[in-house]
């Protein structure tokens, strides 16, 4: 169950990172409220995973999910460049996350 909590936490990290762009420095109420809510859910779920899994593993996987998810969103929706080098680097991050899962 801890890995499920961690996956949810990582998913909500992607959500708040994407929403953060639309807060315009926390000057827009609805995007700011949604960002803070997504942060709260992400941190709560991460705290549940920390009850079972090692802190270093939880944080590395959480950041990895967030980084890859946000980068993929940027390439798919925001028009960020999707070069072979960027995709290779994201695959390496995913490999590290998978390795941490297998090593636990």
Domain boundaries, position 11: 2-103
Mean pLDDT of the 6-27 span: 97
Query: Is pLDDT above 80 for 72?
Result: yes
- Of the chain, the percentage scoring pLDDT greater than 70 comes to 100
pLDDT of residue 102: 86
DSSP the chain: -HHHHHHHHHHHHHHHHHHHHHTTTTTSHHHHHHHHHHHHHHHHHHHHHHTTS-HHHHHHHHHHHHHHHHHHHHHHTS-----HHHHHHHHHHHHHHHHHHHH-
Per residue in 33-67, pLDDT (tens digit) is 999 999 999 999 999 999 999 999 999 999 999 99
The total number of structural domains in the chain stands at 1
pLDDT of residue 35: 98
pLDDT of residue 73: 97
């Amino acid at each position: 169950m801890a890995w499920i909590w961690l996956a949810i936490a990582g998913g909500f990290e992607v959500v708040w990172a994407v929403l953060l762009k639309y807060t315009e420095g926390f000057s827009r109420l609805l995007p700011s409220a949604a960002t803070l809510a997504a942060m709260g859910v992400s941190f709560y779920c991460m705290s549940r995973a920390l009850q079972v899994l090692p802190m270093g593993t939880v944080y590395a996987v959480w950041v990895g999910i967030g980084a890859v998810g946000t980068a993929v969103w940027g390439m798919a929706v925001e028009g960020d460049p999707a070069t072979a080098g960027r995709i290779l680097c994201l695959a390496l991050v995913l490999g590290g996350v998978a390795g941490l899962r297998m090593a636990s």
